[in-house]
Structure 1
Amino acid sequence: MAKAFASQGDLSEKKTSFTEIGEGLYAFTAEGDPNSGVIIGDESVMVVEAQATPRLAGKVIEAIRTVTDKPISHLVLTHYHAVRVLGASAFAAPQVIMSDDARAMVVERGQEDWDSEFARFPRLFQGHESIPGLTWPTTTFSDAMSVYLGNRRVDIMHLGRAHTAGDAVIWVPDQEVMFTGDIVEYHSACYCGDGHFADWGDTLDNIASFDPASIAPGRGDALVGRPMVAEALEKTRDFVESTYRPVARVAARGGSLKEAWDACRAECDPKFSDYAIYEHCLPFNVARAYDEARGIDTPRIWTAERDREMWDALQG
C-alpha cells in the first residue's frame, strides 16, 4: 500500500513540554513537531520561532505567561520555512529578525514554500485562515548582531549553511545556552530538502566550538547538559552524512534518483527509521542530496506539484 503523502496521515495531537534550559530560558517542544524558544530579559521577552499559524503560536504564548508577564519585544526566526514563521502575527513583536539570506528566501520562494508545506502538514496548520500573509522581518543581519533585553545580551549569528542557506543561531552567553533551529535535531529526522550537505558538518563544528551547556534544537527534546548536547550534535552529523554519502556515490556513477533512494534507505533505515518525521523527510532529502551531488548548489524550489511528483516516484 502506498504511504500517505508526507504527514497527511499524522493527525494525532502531540504533547507539548515547556522546559527550562537555563535561567530565564525555555524550550517549547512537542514530540518532534517544530520547537520554539523563549528568552526572558530584565525588561522583555524574545521568542525564537513563530510556529505555523497564529493559533499554534498562541500555545507558546500561553506557556510564556505561566512564567512571566513581561512584554514580547523580539521574535527571531532562525530560517525561512512556513511551519516556522507564519504564526508571527500572534506575537505582535515590534522587532522580527531574520538573516539577510533568510529574507532572500522569502522573496524567492515564500509563497511556494507556504503552499508546499500546507499540503504536507495539515495538522500543523490549524487555524490557517488567520494567517495574514507572508512573514517579513523588520530587521536583518549578515553575519551577527546583538540584542539587549535590559542587561541580558543575546547574540544572533549566521555560523554557516546547513538546514538552509540562511540559518541563524541564538546564543545567550550568560547561561552558555544556544537555540539552533533545525541545524540540530534530537531523535528527529533532519529535513534536508533545502539543505547544504557539504557545509552542514562545518556548521555543527562551529556550534560545538561554543561548548553550549544546553541547546534548544529545532525538533525533539531540549538538550540539557553537555553530554546530551554532544550526543545530539553527533547524531545530527551522522544523519546528514549517512543521507548524503550513499546518494553521492550513486550520482557519481551516473545512477538514477531511484537508485539513490534505494542506496540511502539501505544505509539510513537501520539507524533512523524510528526518528520523528523520518518517512516524511526521506524523499525530499534524497532529491536534494542527488541535486547537490550533481553540482546544483542552490536548492530547487519545492512546489505543491513538485512535492507530489517526487513523492509518487519515490515513496508512493
Structure 2
Amino acid sequence: MTKQFASHADMEDKEVSFEKLSDNAYAYTAEGDPNSGIIIGDDAVMVIDTQATPIMAQDVIRRVKEVTDKPIKYILLSHYHAVRVLGASAYNAQEIIASRDTYDLIVERGEQDKASEIGRFPRLFRNVESVPPGLTWPTITFDGEMTVNLGNLEVQILQVGRGHTKGDTIAWLPEQRILFAGDLVEYQSTPYAGDCYFREWPHTLDTLAEFNAEKMVPGRGPALKSADEVRKGLAGTRAFLTDLYSSVNTGVAEGKDLKTIYRETYDFMKPRYSDWVIFDHCMPFDVARAYDEATGYDDPRIWTAERDIEMWKQLEG
C-alpha cells in the first residue's frame, strides 16, 4: 500500500508547552512540531522562528503577553523554510533579522519552498489564507555574527557552519548558557535534511558542542534543560545524519540506483529512529538529498511542489 504523501496523514493536534528556561528565556514547543524561542530583555522581546501562519503565531504572542508587557521588537529567522517564517506578519515587529545566506536563499527559492512546504504539511498550514501575499523578507541581514541589545541583555546571533541549510543561525545567551539552535539540532524528532549539507553538518554540531550550553531550544522536540540533555540532543542529531549518509554513500559506491538505496537505507534506519517524530515524512527527502550530495550535487537542488510528488512516487509508489 502506498504511503500517504509527506505529512498528509498527520492531522492530530499537538499539545503545546511554554516553558521558562530563565528569567529571560522561554521555549514554545509542541510535541515535535516546529519550535519557537522567546528572549525577554528590559526593553524588548525577540522571537526566534515565527510558526507557519499568522493565525498559529497568535498563540505564541498570547503566551508571551502572559509573562511580559515588553513589546516584541525583533524576529530572528533561524533559516528560510516557510514553516518557520510565514507567521512573521502577526508580530508587527520592528525588525526581522536573518543571515545574508538566508536572505539569498529566500531570493533563490523562497516561492518554490513556500508552495512545496504548504503541500507537504496540511495541518501546520491550517489558516494558510492568513499569510499575506508574497514572501517574508528580512529587514536586517548580517554576515557571520551580530549582537542585539534587548535592554540589559545582549543576544549573540551567530552562524557557526552549514548544516540544515547554508544560512543556519543560532541565538546565544552566553551568561546564562542558553542556546537557541533552530533545526541544526532536533530532539526525539527526525532531522529534515532535504536542503542540507550532510558532510558539513556534523562538524557544525561539533562547533555547537563547544559552547557547552546548559540549556537549549532545538528546532523540534522538547526543550533541553540540562547540559546532559543538550549533549544527547547534539549526539542524536549527529548519529542520525552520519548513519543515513554513510548508508547512502555506500550504496552509491556500489553502483545501486536511488530506489534501491532508499529501501536499504530505510530498512537500516527504521529500527534505530522510527519512533522519532516525522520519520516517514523525512526519509524520502533526506535520502534523495544524500544521494544528490554523494553523486556530486554539492548544493541542494530546489524542491518544488511538482518535484516533491515526483520523488515521493518514485521512492514510495
Match of 2:50 in 1: 50
What is the CA distance between 1:3 and its match in structure 2? Answer: 0.9
TM-score (norm 2): 0.98
Q: Which amino acid aligns with 1:144?
A: E
Q: How does 1:89-238 map to 2 (within 5 A)?
A: 89-132=89-132, 133-238=134-239
For these two proteins, the number of residue pairs brought into alignment is 316
The answer to whether the 8 Å contact 1:7/1:120 transfers is yes
CA RMSD of aligned residues (A): 0.8
- Say which SS state the counterpart of residue 197 (structure 1) adopts: coil
C-alpha distance in structure 2 between counterparts of 1:267 and 1:145, whole Å: 41
Q: In the alignment, is the contact (CA less than 8 A) between 1:23 and 1:175 conserved in 2?
A: no
By how many angstroms is 1:23 displaced? 2.4
CA deviation string 1:115-157 (max 9, x = no partner): 0000100111121111112000000111000000011000000
> Equivalents in 2 of 1:141, 1:253: separation in Å?
42
Letter in 1 for 2:247: P
Identify the residue that residue 2 of structure 1 maps to in structure 2. Answer: 2
Could you list the per-position Cα deviations for residues 75-119 of structure 1 after superposition, in whole angstroms to 9, with x for gaps in the alignment?
000000000000000011111001011111100000100000001
- SS in structure 2 at match of 1:218: strand
What is the letter of the counterpart of residue 115 of structure 1?
A
Aligned to 1:252: 253
Corresponding residue of 2:313: 312
Partner of 1:294: 295
Residue by residue over 1:183-202, the C-alpha shift from the partner in whole angstroms, topping out at 9 and shown as x without a partner, is: 00000000000000000111
Tell me the SS of whatever aligns to 1:182: strand
Question: What is the Cα deviation at residue 254 of structure 1?
Answer: 2.3
* SS class of match (2:18): strand
What are the Cα deviations for residues 220-250 of structure 1, in whole angstroms up to 9, with x where unaligned?
Answer: 0000000100111100000111111010111
Point out where structure 1 has 5 or more consecutive residues left out of the alignment.
none
In structure 2, give the amino acid aligned to 1:130: S
Q: Say if 1:165 and 1:196, in contact at 8 Å, map to a contact too.
A: yes
Q: Counterpart in 1 of 2:269?
A: 268
Map 1:5-44 → 2, pairs under 5 A: 5-44=5-44
Give me the whole-angstrom Cα distance separating, in 2, the residues matched to 1:221 and 1:157: 22
Deviation at 1:268, TM superposition (A): 0.8
Query: 1:25–1:37: 8 Å Cα contact kept in structure 2?
Result: yes
Q: Identity of paired residues, percent?
A: 52
Residue 253 of structure 1: how far off its partner (Å):
2.6
What is the TM-score of this pair, normalised by structure 1?
Answer: 0.99
Runs of 4+ deviating beyond 2 Å: none
